[in-house]
């Protein structure tokens, strides 16, 4: 995927559209400038959007290394790839599926393989968060399923999203509308991206969905248009407002005359 040259994005001259989501932030990923924020520092569960942190930790490892699936990897719900113990896949293959389909068993497999255990990987996630300047987050698992003491904020997740957006590998995965996955026994699955905004907004290129009862509907979206880029973090929205909220903010950020900067 060839990256489009981008320049810093100025704050739009029109006010942001009203959104239903409880916590929101819109940033320019080039400069890091905040274009809009609403309850951006309120701690809350962020569901599978924290898989962006999982991806960033995985990027620090050898992605071509093989992972042998274990029975323990399957001990999660609800979204699973249904891999079988003994299957062998590269970390790169698993990371691609994690970004597209958000399968929790894939997250557990990567965590166990890279961190030695779920707890070991969580320590790496928190270390990565600290390195990035995410000062209001604490992670306990790689997938975002509810766990007491696990939280982040819209602002912190924007920091993680900015780092993920800058990774050509991660963005090449998050921009896929679908992908295929071949199990070791030859079975092939076609997997649709959980991010519906990829089909609704032609210049959207990511980044990650997330939904649990505790976190509500969450979406971190990104896009590049006319040489400008934006990342939109929407936490605890409602159906179908998660898509509407994110689309409105992404379009507000980027669909304007070039003279506005």
Q: Which residues contact 175 (CB under 8 A, 6 or more apart)?
A: 1, 198, 205, 206
Q: Which residues contact 32 (CB under 8 A, 6 or more apart)?
A: 162
* Beta carbons of 44 and 236 less than 8 angstroms apart: yes
* Beta carbons of 97 and 41 less than 8 angstroms apart: no
Concatenating the DSSP letter of every residue in 218-251 gives EEEEEEEETTEEEEEEEEEE-TTHHHHHHHHHHH
* 102 has catalytic annotation: yes
Q: What separation in angstroms does the CA of 127 have from each of 40, 53, 56, 57, 151?
A: 22, 10, 11, 9, 15
* Beta carbons of 229 and 9 less than 8 angstroms apart: yes
* Beta carbons of 24 and 248 less than 8 angstroms apart: no
* 38 has catalytic annotation: no
Q: Strands 23-27 and 34-38, how do they pair?
A: antiparallel
Q: Which of 23, 31, 38, 48 is catalytic?
A: 48
Gap between the Cα atoms of 159 and 37, Å rounded? 13
* 48 has catalytic annotation: yes
Q: Which of 51, 196, 208, 236 is catalytic?
A: 51
Q: Which of 23, 102, 137, 152 is catalytic?
A: 102
Residues recognised as catalytic: 48, 51, 102
């Amino acid at each position: 995927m060839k990256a489009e040259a981008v320049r810093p994005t100025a704050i739009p001259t029109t006010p942001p559209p009203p959104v239903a989501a409880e916590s929101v932030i819109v940033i320019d990923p080039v400069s890091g400038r905040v274009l809009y924020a609403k309850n951006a520092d309120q701690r809350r569960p962020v569901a599978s959007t924290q898989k962006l942190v999982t991806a960033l930790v995985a990027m620090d490892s050898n992605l071509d290394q093989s992972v042998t699936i274990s029975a323990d990897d399957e001990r999660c719900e609800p979204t699973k790839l249904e891999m079988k113990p003994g299957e062998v896949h590269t970390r790169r293959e698993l990371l691609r599926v994690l970004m597209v389909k958000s399968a929790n068993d894939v997250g557990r497999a990567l965590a166990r393989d890279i961190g030695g255990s779920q707890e070991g990987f969580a320590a790496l996630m928190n270390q990565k968060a600290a390195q990035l300047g995410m000062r209001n987050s604490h992670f306990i698992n790689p997938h975002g399923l509810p766990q007491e003491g696990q939280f982040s904020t819209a602002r912190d997740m924007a920091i993680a999203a900015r780092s993920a957006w800058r990774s050509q590998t991660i963005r090449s995965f998050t921009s896929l509308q679908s992908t295929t996955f071949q199990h070791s026994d030859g079975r092939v699955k076609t997997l649709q991206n959980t991010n519906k905004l990829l089909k609704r907004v032609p210049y959207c290129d990511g980044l990650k969905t997330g939904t649990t009862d505790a976190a509500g509907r969450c979406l971190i979206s990104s896009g590049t248009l006319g040489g400008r880029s934006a990342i939109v973090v929407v936490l605890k929205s409602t159906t179908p407002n998660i898509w509407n909220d994110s689309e409105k903010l992404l379009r507000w950020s980027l669909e304007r005359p070039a003279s506005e900067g």
